[in-house]
Chain A
Amino acid sequence: MTLPIGNNLKVWRAKFDLTQAQLAEKSGVSRKTINTLERGIYIPSVALALTIAMVFETDLESVFFLIRE
C-alpha cells in the first residue's frame, strides 16, 4: 500500500517570503494548485515536485516526504 505524502510547502514559502500566487507563478501552475498541494488534497507529479524543489533551491525530500505511521 502506498504511504501518504506530506509537505513543508508553507515553511519553505515563509523562508523565501513567497505568497501562494508567487510560488504558483514560479512553478508554472495555478494558485489553486499550490493551495491544494499545501493542504495535501492534491499530490503533485514528479515533474511539478522537482520544479517546486528547484524554486526553493533544495532537494525534493526537503519539501515532500512520505508519512510513515
Chain B
Amino acid sequence: MNADLEPIDIIEKKRRNSLIGLTLCFSLWQIGQIATLNFKGLFNESVFLFFSMVTFVGALGVVGLFIYHRKANNLIKKHPELCHQINDERSCHLRNQALAYGFSGAVASSSLFLALSFVTEQVDSDIVFSGAFVSHSIMLITVITSLVAYLILDKEV
C-alpha cells in the first residue's frame, strides 16, 4: 500500500473506535436530554446540573466525532477507487442487519412502553407518560440498538 493510501488505512482502523465513541456520546447526550426535559420536577439542583453536564459533554462528543467523520469522508473522496473496498458487500450486509436490529428495538421498546402505560394506569391513573418522553426514548433505543448491533457484527473474531 503506497504512502498516499496510508491515512485511509489508519482511518479504517480508527473507524471502529470512533463508532464506539459516537455510541457512548450519543447515549449520554440523549439520556441527559430525556432526564432534564421530562424529570425536571423530580431532581434537586445538583442532580439537574449533573444531567445538564452529561447532555453538554455528550453533545460535544457527537459534534467532535461528526467533524472527524467528515474529515474521513473528505479523505476517502480523494480516492474514489477505494470506495468499493471500504463500502463492500459485507459492510452493506452488516449495515442492513444492524438496521433490522434497530427496527426490532423500536418495536420492542414501543411494546414495552405500551405495556407500562397499561400497568401504570391500573396502579395510579395520575401517572402519565408524555408523548415527547416516549418518542424520545424509542428513538434513543432504536439508534443505540442499531449502533451496538453493527459494532458486535463488525467485530473481527
The answer to whether A48 touches B89, judged by C-beta atoms less than 8 angstroms apart, is: yes
The answer to whether B84 touches A32, judged by C-beta atoms less than 8 angstroms apart, is: no
The answer to whether A36 touches B85, judged by C-beta atoms less than 8 angstroms apart, is: no
Q: How large is the interface on A (under 10, 10 to 19, 20 to 34, 35 or more residues)?
A: 10 to 19
- Please tell me the number of chain B residues within 8 Å of chain A, measured between CB atoms: 13
Q: Does residue A21 face the partner (Cβ distance < 8 Å to B)?
A: yes
Contacts of A44 in B (CB 8 A): 89
Shortest beta-carbon distance from A29 to chain B in Å: 4
Contacts of B104 in A (CB 8 A): none
- Chain A residue nearest to B85 (CB atoms) is A30
- Chain A residue nearest to B1 (CB atoms) is A21
Complex: how many Å from CA A27 to CA B85? 9
Chain A residues 14 to 58 lying within 8 A of chain B, measured CB to CB, are 21, 24-25, 28-30, 32-33, 35-36, 39, 41-42, 44-45, 47-48
The answer to whether A25 touches B85, judged by C-beta atoms less than 8 angstroms apart, is: yes
Please name 18 further chain A to chain B contacts, defined as beta carbons within 8 Å, in addition to the given A35-B156, A36-B156, A41-B157, sorted by A numbering: A24-B85, A25-B85, A28-B85, A28-B88, A29-B84, A29-B85, A29-B90, A30-B88, A30-B91, A32-B90, A32-B154, A32-B156, A33-B88, A33-B89, A33-B90, A42-B90, A44-B89, A45-B89
* Chain B residues in the interface with A (C-beta under 8 A): 1, 12, 84-86, 88-91, 93, 154, 156-157
- Could you pull out 15 A-B pairs where Cβ atoms are within 8 angstroms? A25-B85, A28-B85, A28-B88, A29-B85, A29-B88, A29-B90, A30-B85, A32-B154, A33-B90, A35-B156, A42-B90, A42-B93, A44-B89, A47-B89, A48-B89
* Chain A residues in the interface with B (C-beta under 8 A): 21, 24-25, 28-30, 32-33, 35-36, 39, 41-42, 44-45, 47-48
